[in-house]
Amino acid sequence: MAEAARVGTADPEPHGASRAAAPAVRLEGVVKRFGQVVAVDGVTLDVPAGEFFSLLGPSGSGKTTCLRMIAGFEQPSEGRILLGGRDVAGLPPYERDVNTVFQDYALFPHMTVAENVGYGLRVRKVRGSERARRVADALAMVRLEGFGDRRPAQLSGGQRQRVALARALVVRPTVLLLDEPLGALDLKLRQTMQIELKDIQVDVGLTFVYVTHDQEEALTMSDRLAVFNEGRIEQVGSPAEVYERPATVFVAGFIGVSNVLDGDAARQLTGSRHAFTIRPEKIAIVGSDAREDESRRTATGRVREVVYLGAITRYLVDLDVGGELVVMQQNLATSSMEALRVRGTSVRLQWHRSNERPVETAGDEGSEDPEEGGR
């Protein structure tokens, strides 16, 4: 694991700004090219101090490259990276006030837990008594008191990850970078560690910048997140903002499950061909006597597929106006046999119009709805 040294002498404040008011991390028009491939394409981003911020996106979207540039393992082809208001262009990782936790833990198998955690302090020549105190404090932060004499092979996967976290925290970085650190854990342990990691971040008050491709992970832990796609940021916001109000079709589809209706189907339902998205859990299957008013949208269709998932049932409905909708309903009183009987039947769907969200599609740029006359 690459360890980071504390920054000693600060550069003058950029543009006269106060260092105290500067974001913990700032990316200004950052571009990264590998030959002819543009891995990061003009990313601008601020991460305030003390925030748990996630970089979320599929493989190859540029999120990990951004993290590596913040850490100093890669240098931007264009743009600036500032840490606490200080331009760190050209500085190696050990001269940046950051530390990194990786997915593979990178623990020394021949060292004890305490020796692993204290390694960075030993490199910095922190004296023995001070080093022992700080190691004990770091192990307490990650709830591993009493584990100092064990070796990594004697620990579970979750415990080894917490040792790696303690080793990163013990040198007191201003920003902690985490590169998919829970990816090697099984589902239940990963879910437990998500909660623990967020609790630790709140307790220590550090800025965490977290890379993941797991939408649930990002929604669970983040104060805010940036959704990456093909080297660019599609949307930045809180988990609720990004989930409830996706800005683009990509965000709507990548964060959870979403329905997107456009073209003729959208026109039949709304009078406009402009695309909108509606989340599956916002749609209800209703009876013929369901009340209709201006606050609700109603559509009819036929159930093509039913997937019973225990707590919920997922229905795929082919709409009579064209297109399809995924509908998710809680099984409050529905058995698997009752759910499966709906396959092939005609149904009536209803949702509140307030849950529809307009989204941009690839063809929206510069286009006009011919039936709206470019209004």
What is the pLDDT at residue 276?
92
Give pLDDT tens digits for 29-64.
999 999 999 999 999 999 999 999 999 999 999 999
CATH architecture of 14-248: 3-Layer(aba) Sandwich (3.40)
- In this prediction, residue 163 has a pLDDT band, given cuts at 50, 70 and 90, of very high
CA 181 to chain centre: 13
Give pLDDT tens digits for 279-297.
999 999 998 777 788 899 9
Is there a common fold for 14-248 and 257-358? no
Query: What angle is formed at CA 200 by the lines to CA 198 and CA 202, rounded to 5 degrees?
Result: 70
Give pLDDT tens digits for 216-228.
999 999 999 999 9
Rounded to an integer, the average pLDDT of 64-91 is: 95
What is the pLDDT at residue 102?
86
Reported pTM: 0.83
Kindly state the DSSP code that residue 333 receives in the 8-state scheme: S
Inform me whether the pLDDT recorded for 205 exceeds 80. yes
- Between residues 188 and 114, which one has the greater pLDDT? 114
Rounded to an integer, the average pLDDT of 115-142 is: 91
What is the pLDDT at residue 152?
92
Closest CA to 26 of 75, 84, 68, 71: 84
- In this prediction, residue 177 has a pLDDT band, given cuts at 50, 70 and 90, of very high
What six digits make up the tokens of 245?
């109000």
Between CA 219 and CA 223 the distance in angstroms is 9
Number of alpha carbons in the 13 Å side-chain half-sphere of residue 109: 2
What is the pLDDT at residue 363?
55
What six digits make up the tokens of 349?
């769907």
- Between residues 199 and 370, which one has the greater pLDDT? 199
- Kindly list the domain boundaries of the chain, sorted by start residue: 14-248, 257-358
Inform me whether the pLDDT recorded for 141 exceeds 80. yes
What is the pLDDT at residue 362?
63
Give pLDDT tens digits for 330-365.
988 777 777 788 899 999 999 999 999 998 776 555
What is the pLDDT at residue 82?
97
What is the pLDDT at residue 364?
56
Q: Mean pLDDT for the chain? A: 87
Inform me whether the pLDDT recorded for 17 exceeds 80. no
What is the pLDDT at residue 272?
87
CATH architecture of 257-358: Beta Barrel (2.40)
Closest CA to 301 of 317, 316, 290: 317
